[in-house]
A and B are shown apart, each in its own frame.
Chain A
């Protein structure tokens, strides 16, 4: 993988007393934690816990209602350096390669460099054979991999992934997880939401358990699974429903 890391990083991303509300609904409540360089940080929790909202806020797409977020000490994130793959990524109405070319152009990659990066990214995500196919006609797993490639086109220092394997079959899930490991091994900070505990065990270096918009527990993955502190974490790991 010949990815070149972004020259400046947005890490650490610091949440300080962050509240996010939509009308009367509290989406995130008084969140304080830090995302630092290192192995993947995995957000776990039931549906509606606030995982996607947290990712969007960390990406800089949603502003906190109160509290503050800083990126490497700055109140405004750099325009590049971060990328996100949404739970249901939208494919632009063009070919697989066309989607990537668009993302590379948006990231400011121009000239001959664009074609070589495009070829490289297609190879990284294993989509060389379908480069000319309309992106919207790819399978769910292929679309996820293309979305990952589009995100990597930004050469991010931090990559946010929102349930990247939701509704994928085991083979497609493995392909995505292998890609996440490869990206992480290259020094890209992966911050990922999942409600699949097995996936969290396989990938996480650090776990953040969210429930009803609150951060319930935040620990290194091994400790979280071996020795959870809170009652909610114990129940969640035991497979009980958090409602």
Chain B
């Protein structure tokens, strides 16, 4: 075990090209998915927070529940939709990084939407009187609430990224774990461990751990900055 760890560290410090390619793809896929999820989830969360409609409570419960969507389930649904005989089969996306981005976007969107909903709703309860008295219109209200909640929303973004970076279930199904094309940190770890190639698995595990720690540190820094600069 000690020897495997030393080999893993060697791979890391020598900048093993295979390992770096896997890390690059992982970051690109998860970051793309998180940005797409933010574009979809933030307005959706704000909309649910600020509008009153029939079944709103059910929608909120569903949104919160979807934060815990099983990745394999999302992977399976995406697989069925993107496979040649599926409704989106003509797009030819199955077993490509784009398919992985789609699957992770579906996983992360509810997280960002749910946190945005809570943040915006809390802020609206606080700001309602002032913004109404200032005669601020609906679109500007939403913009104000999103801007003033930016530090909490940045934390939501980072939480979403953390979820995407660490999941394996959906991307292994829709990506296929193809070497040099759709192999990411988590899918490679699963494969290399099953093959007994522990040094690469451990090396990737260390990178994944560092990413998760970095995301957590960033989240804390963002929150502190929010307290310091915006009160």
CB-based contact A90/B127 at 8 Å: yes
Q: Which of B126, B134, B144, B231 contacts A134 (CB 8 A)?
A: B231
Whether A92 lies near B135 (C-beta < 8 A) is no
Partner of B148, one of A59, A89, A92, A150: A92
Q: Decide if B135 touches A80 in the complex (CB within 8 Å).
A: yes
Is B132 interfacial (CB-CB < 8 Å)?
Answer: yes
Flag B109-149 by CB within 8 Å of A: 1 or 0 each: 00000000000000000110110111110001000100011
Contact in complex: A137, B133 (CB < 8 Å): no
Q: Could you tell me the distance between the alpha carbons of A134 and B144 in the complex, rounded to whole angstroms?
A: 16
Pick from B126, B130, B144, B226 the residue with the most CB of A within 10 Å: B130
Contact in complex: B231, A61 (CB < 8 Å): no
Best-buried of A61, A84, A86, A102 by chain B (most CB within 10 Å): A102
Q: Is the C-beta of B230 less than 8 angstroms from some C-beta in chain A?
A: yes
In this assembly, does A154 line the interface, its C-beta being within 8 Å of a C-beta of chain B? Answer: yes
How distant is the Cα of A107 from the Cα of B105 in the complex, in angstroms? 40
Name the A residues within 8 Å of B135 (CB-CB).
79-80, 106
In chain A between 122 and 168, which residues have their CB closer than 8 angstroms to a CB of chain B?
Answer: 134-137, 150, 154
B229 at the interface (CB under 8 A from A): yes
Given A80-B135, A106-B136; A86-B129 close (CB under 8 Å)? yes
Chain A 142-201 interface residues, beta-carbon cutoff 8 Å to B: 150, 154
Are B130 and A137 interface neighbours, CB within 8 A?
A: no
- Grouping DSSP codes into helix (H, G, I), strand (E, B) and loop, the B interface class, with mixed when no group exceeds half, is helix
Interface bracket on A: 20 to 34
Q: Closest residue to A59 on the B side, CB-wise?
A: B133
A-contact bits for B142-165, CB 8 A (1 contact / 0 none)? 001000110000000000000000
Whether the pair A91, B133 counts as a contact (CB closer than 8 A) is no
B152: nearest residue on chain A (CB-CB)?
A93
B137 to chain A minimum Cβ distance, whole angstroms, is: 9
Q: Which residue of B lies closest to A147 (CB)?
A: B130
Query: Which residues of B sit under 8 angstroms from A150, Cβ to Cβ?
Result: 134
Report B197-231 CB contacts with A as 1/0, cut-off 8 Å. Answer: 00000000000000000000000000000101111
Cross-chain contact A84 with B231 (CB below 8 angstroms): no
Chain B residues contacting A103 (CB-CB under 8 Å) are 134
Cross-interface CB contact of B231 among A59, A106, A137, A154, cutoff 8 Å: A137
Give 10 new A-B contacts, CB below 8 A, not counting A61-B133, A86-B129, A93-B231: A59-B133, A86-B130, A92-B127, A93-B226, A93-B230, A94-B230, A103-B134, A134-B231, A135-B231, A137-B231
Q: Could you list some 30 contacts between A and B, CB below 8 A?
A: A59-B133, A61-B132, A61-B133, A79-B135, A83-B133, A86-B129, A86-B130, A86-B133, A90-B126, A90-B130, A91-B231, A92-B127, A92-B130, A92-B144, A92-B148, A93-B230, A93-B231, A94-B148, A94-B230, A102-B134, A102-B144, A103-B134, A106-B134, A106-B135, A106-B136, A134-B229, A134-B231, A136-B230, A136-B231, A137-B231
Residues of A within 8 A of B (CB): 59, 61, 79-80, 83-84, 86, 89-94, 102-103, 106-107, 134-137, 150, 154
| Pairs A-B, 6 closest by C-beta atoms | A136-B231, A134-B231, A93-B230, A106-B134, A93-B148, A137-B231
